[in-house]
């Protein structure tokens, strides 16, 4: 029995035991869950506060009191919501239709990200001309785009060029892209999804893997977009990370939030 077909223990929700024929739908349609919207909005508000330097309110956000910050909470709630929505779709209309719905959403988010990228780059470029401060380009992570747009535009379309503050949607797009596999695994049983996830988490901690963000060379320096450090050569990769298509983060380098 999959997790989507198990009987619920809350009769007040109108969900009965599916084996007894009462309440066939394990995901009742009750409109939007305002609790999810509230905590997702609160996470976005915390993220906004954390990105303001020297902000007193930053002492009261999750980053200061927990093992993670609000970005992880936002991703978790988004994944939980996706499981509710697309899990219901898969239980009612099959895995193929649910997968089509997931990738329809992926396409919408991809178009939104590219649109935001264009607007963001235009705003930063206009601000640089208005205040006559070219260092603003580097701070916002679009300096390489303006110097080598023919390279950066391809990387942007591949979700590899990520200016400052524009790395959340690409992450969510990638996670949602593999979500149909998670749904199918959950349908077989929770461990089918949890064990590979735990194994990937442990290997990432062990080998220091991170998704590759190809650097855009500019003169003698090589810088990964969204990174706050530069060097004359790319960061070395271990054989294991190279085989997995991942690069090791160089010591002393910290990605911009």
Rounded Cα distance, 69 and 48, in Å: 11
**Number of neighbouring beta carbons within 10 Å of residue 49:** 17
Query: Residue 168's closest CA among 74, 64, 42?
Result: 74
Average pLDDT of span 140-162: 81
| Listed residue (89, 91, 99) closest to 5, CA to CA | 91
Q: Distance between CA 91 and CA 187 in Å, rounded?
A: 9
Confidence check: pLDDT of 230 > 50: no
Residue 179 pLDDT greater than 70, yes or no: yes
Tokens 């949890």 found at: 194
Q: What is the mean pLDDT of residues 228-239?
A: 38
pTM summary value: 0.66
Can you give the pLDDT at residue 3? 52
Q: Are 137 and 128 in contact (CB under 8 A)?
A: yes
Q: What token pair was written down for 150?
A: 């023919």
Are 166 and 120 in contact by the 8 Å Cβ rule? The answer is yes
Indicate the range of 13-27, 37-51, 185-199 predicted with least confidence.
13-27
What are the sequence ranges of the domains in the chain?
94-177
The pLDDT value given to residue 198: 93
**For residue range 76-127, what is the model confidence (pLDDT) as tens digits?**
998 899 998 999 899 899 999 999 999 999 999 999 999 999 898 888 888 8
- Counting every residue written for the chain, the total comes to 257
Per the structure block, which two tokens stand in for 133? 């401060």
DSSP 84-108: HHHHHHHHHH-HHHHHHHHHHHHHH
Q: What are phi and psi of 223, to 5 degrees?
A: -135, 135
Query: Residue 126: what pLDDT?
Result: 83
For residue 212, which of 172, 165, 159 has the smallest C-alpha distance? 159
How many angstroms separate the CA atoms of 147 and 218, rounded? 7
């Amino acid at each position: 029995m999959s997790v989507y077909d198990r009987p619920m223990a809350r009769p007040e929700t109108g969900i009965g035991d599916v084996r007894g024929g009462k309440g066939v739908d394990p995901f009742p349609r009750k409109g939007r869950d305002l609790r999810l919207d509230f905590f997702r909005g609160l996470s976005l508000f915390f993220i906004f506060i954390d990105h303001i330097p020297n902000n007193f309110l930053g002492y009261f956000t999750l980053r200061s009191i927990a093992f993670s910050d609000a970005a992880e909470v936002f991703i978790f709630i988004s994944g939980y919501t996706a499981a509710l929505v697309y899990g219901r779709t898969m239980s009612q209309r099959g895995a193929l239709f649910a997968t089509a719905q997931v990738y329809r959403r992926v396409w919408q988010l991809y178009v939104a990200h590219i649109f935001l990228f264009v607007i963001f780059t235009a705003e930063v470029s206009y601000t640089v001309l208005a205040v006559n401060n070219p260092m603003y380009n580097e701070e916002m992570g679009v300096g390489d785009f303006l110097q080598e747009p023919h390279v950066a535009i391809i990387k942007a379309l591949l979700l590899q060029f990520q200016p400052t503050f524009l790395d959340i949607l690409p992450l969510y797009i990638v996670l949602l892209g593999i979500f149909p596999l998670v749904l199918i695994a959950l349908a077989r049983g929770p461990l089918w999804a949890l064990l590979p996830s735990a194994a990937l988490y442990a290997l990432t901690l062990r080998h220091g893997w991170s998704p590759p963000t190809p650097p855009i060379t500019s003169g003698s320096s090589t810088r990964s977009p969204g990174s706050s450090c530069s060097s004359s050569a790319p960061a070395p990769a271990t054989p294991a990370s190279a085989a997995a298509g991942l690069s090791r983060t160089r010591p002393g380098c910290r990605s911009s939030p």
